[in-house]
Structure 1
Amino acid sequence: MNKRLAILAGLIRIKLTLAVALSATIGYVFSGAGDILTALMVALGVLLLSSASSVLNQIQELKQDALMERTAQRPIPSGEITVKQAMLIFLTLLFAGTVVLLGINFISAIVGITTILLYNGFYTPLKKKSSLAIFPGALVGALPPMIGWVGAGEPIMHPAIIMLSGFMFLWQIPHFLLLAIKYREQYLNAGFQISVGGPASKQTRRLLLLWVLTTSFAALFFPFFGLVQNTFIVAAIILLNCLLIFAFFRIAFTNYEMALKGKLHGFVSIYMLLFLLLIAADSLILNL
């Protein structure tokens, strides 16, 4: 039983899917809604759909996964599960996730399915053809908070959720670029198209600097437009962004070895988690 659970966890990439579910839940909390049952349904529905997307992605990239050290031990390329079994799991998760989101409302299910179509139908095949795949990939990462937002019954084109999703889009770019740096040779050997050199490349560092500064600047718009109001939360966001910029210069410009080992990628990921928790905390405080 433990082995089966371990295989399933690897197949759905449990850490990634939990992070996606969290971002969707924060989109719900960000709306000001406070129904715990609906919030749990949002988290579950997105977790199931994200898991389905991950399974389909591993089916689509079976050959590429087998060529890369970081993915060769995933359940399908390692032979722990067959493509047929994986496809059955995908269909089950897809159906279950869609039903859960339909139980909230129709629009949240539509946004959820659209996310899968973008990720598996557009981003995944485009990665093998163009480095520009990073942009539709970033768009996919921007949609989960919107699922939570519309799950709360809020309009999909509201400026607040557009700003949050836009911020998530911006953050995805350095996130993808740093992964490409860390696993550059593996990606190239597997046939993926990437546009960055090693961390010592001046062009790479300038590109990363542009996106990190843009992301940090966008984060400061939240208190500026009144989307974050608590004084302590605002101060924490400012401090967090100062730490992001400091860490970027410290690692990317002076310690290439740390960048190669993914230290900067890890910091950027922690930054996003803390930022989302801060804006969620602000919404909870305002609605107490």
Structure 2
Amino acid sequence: MKSATGTAETGAIQLAFTDFKEITKARLAISVVFSAVAGYLLGASEIRAVPLLLLVLGGYCMVGASNAYNQVIERSLDKRMHRTRHRPIPSGRMRVSTAMAIAIVMTLAGVALLYQLNPRTAFFGALSIFLYTCVYTPLKTVTPLAVFVGAIPGAIPFMLGWVAATDNFGIEPGTLFMIQFFWQFPHFWALGWMLDEDYRRGGFKMLPTGKKDTGTVVQIIMYTIWMIVISIIPVFGITGRLSLSVPAAVLIFLMGLVMLWFALRLYELRDRQSARSLMLSSVTYITLMQIVYVVDSFI
């Protein structure tokens, strides 16, 4: 009997942990924290464990809170879509009040942790929650321009790391922001192309023209080109302390061309598989680009 009870308790704990990861979108949150850490390593004159830990924990809390608020707001829409109907709230595994409690606690904890670094970091973290929750989320069912709004909080983490390390906002974090800002568009529009039918079930307007057409792909290509250009701007020595060696710039340029090739492939084929390939290449690009920046700064 005790063994059965213990097994049931263990199962309940595991399910609660799984639901917590899902309500905070753990994989997405970790990727966002990775961007913030990369920005910190670029900006820090010396790497200290405590500030880095505060950034990691505070960053996860801020992203997790945004995702929890999002799932509370969109719970009725999530029920309509195949990819989201099994989330904790629409499936009935988690109450709305529980999700809200998680979101509020993580908001307060995140702001408090980031404030320990400096007030600017806490401000930008709080701003990202506000824009994602109060502006981007409601706009998703109203206009495709929601993606432009969502690109702002989506681009903050890379910049946030630099601000956390330096307590300064200037051309360096501004450049990091712009790199990730322009990256958002081909990434999310590729995802929107892949999931267009499902998004329509939820009433979301994610593609710039509202449909999978030439206009959408052309915009994907143009934003990819801008992303590549901005990613290598530091090689010209005009972005303050943020610099990039010629070999690193060439490597990033070549990686950008790979992503551009997938965008051109989508233009040619207009199918779901091409959109998926572009989306995956965009994730690979942003990760490797940040690694190249960090490694280059230490060489």
Is the CA contact (8 Å cut-off) linking 1:68 and 1:186 kept in structure 2? yes
Unaligned ranges ≥5, structure 2: 1-12
Find the residue that maps to 2:67 and give its secondary structure.
helix
Question: Per the alignment, do residues 95 and 154 of structure 1 end up closer, same or farther by CA in structure 2, a change over 3 Å counting?
Answer: closer
Find the residue that maps to 1:41 and give its secondary structure.
helix
TM-score for both structures, normalised by structure 2: 0.89
The residue identity in structure 1 corresponding to 2:148 is: F
Distance 2:92 2:115 in 1: 35
Is the CA contact (8 Å cut-off) linking 1:52 and 1:93 kept in structure 2? yes
Q: Which residue of 1 aligns with 2:268?
A: 253
Q: Note the 1:120-131 alignment, pairs <5 A.
A: 120-131=133-144
Q: Which residue of 2 aligns with 1:271?
A: 285
Asked whether 1:283 is paired with 2:286, we answer no
Over residues 168-225 of structure 1, what are the superposed CA-to-partner deviations in whole Å (9 max), with x where a residue is unaligned? 11111111211111111111221112334665x2222212111111111211212223
Equivalent in 159, 167, 182 of residue 179 of structure 2: 167
Find the residue that maps to 2:79 and give its secondary structure.
helix
Asked whether 1:75 is paired with 2:88, we answer yes
Q: Note the 1:84-103 alignment, pairs <5 A.
A: 84-103=97-116
Unaligned ranges ≥5, structure 1: none
Distance 1:257 1:146 in 2: 32
Equivalent in 178, 183, 190 of residue 195 of structure 2: 183
Over residues 53-107 of structure 1, what are the superposed CA-to-partner deviations in whole Å (9 max), with x where a residue is unaligned? 1111100100111111111111111111010111111111112111211211111
Find the residue that maps to 2:83 and give its secondary structure.
coil
Question: Per the alignment, do residues 255 and 67 of structure 1 end up closer, same or farther by CA in structure 2, a change over 3 Å counting?
Answer: closer
Is the CA contact (8 Å cut-off) linking 2:217 and 2:266 kept in structure 1? no
Distance 2:265 2:197 in 1: 24
The residue identity in structure 2 corresponding to 1:94 is: T
Over residues 221-264 of structure 1, what are the superposed CA-to-partner deviations in whole Å (9 max), with x where a residue is unaligned? 1222363434542332122122222232234424624225x121
Q: Which residue of 2 aligns with 1:65?
A: 78
CA RMSD of aligned residues (A): 1.8
Is the CA contact (8 Å cut-off) linking 2:23 and 2:71 kept in structure 1? yes
Distance 1:130 1:257 in 2: 23
Asked whether 1:17 is paired with 2:32, we answer no
Larger Rg over CA atoms: 2
Equivalent in 107, 110, 133 of residue 123 of structure 2: 110
Distance 1:155 1:58 in 2: 33
Q: Which residue of 2 aligns with 1:202?
A: 214
The residue identity in structure 2 corresponding to 1:155 is: N
Over residues 122-150 of structure 1, what are the superposed CA-to-partner deviations in whole Å (9 max), with x where a residue is unaligned? 11111121111111100111111222222
Q: Please, which moves more after superposition, 79-88 or 94-103?
A: 94-103
Is the CA contact (8 Å cut-off) linking 1:31 and 1:154 kept in structure 2? no
Asked whether 1:212 is paired with 2:227, we answer no
Distance 1:148 1:155 in 2: 11
Distance 1:54 1:40 in 2: 21
TM-score for both structures, normalised by structure 1: 0.92
Q: Which residue of 2 aligns with 1:30?
A: 42
The residue identity in structure 1 corresponding to 2:189 is: L
Distance 2:270 2:190 in 1: 14
| TM superposition shift of 1:6 | 0.9
The residue identity in structure 2 corresponding to 1:137 is: G
Find the residue that maps to 2:265 and give its secondary structure.
helix
Is the CA contact (8 Å cut-off) linking 2:262 and 2:274 kept in structure 1? no
| TM superposition shift of 1:109 | 0.8
Distance 2:270 2:192 in 1: 17
Is the CA contact (8 Å cut-off) linking 1:59 and 1:86 kept in structure 2? yes
Is the CA contact (8 Å cut-off) linking 2:135 and 2:149 kept in structure 1? yes
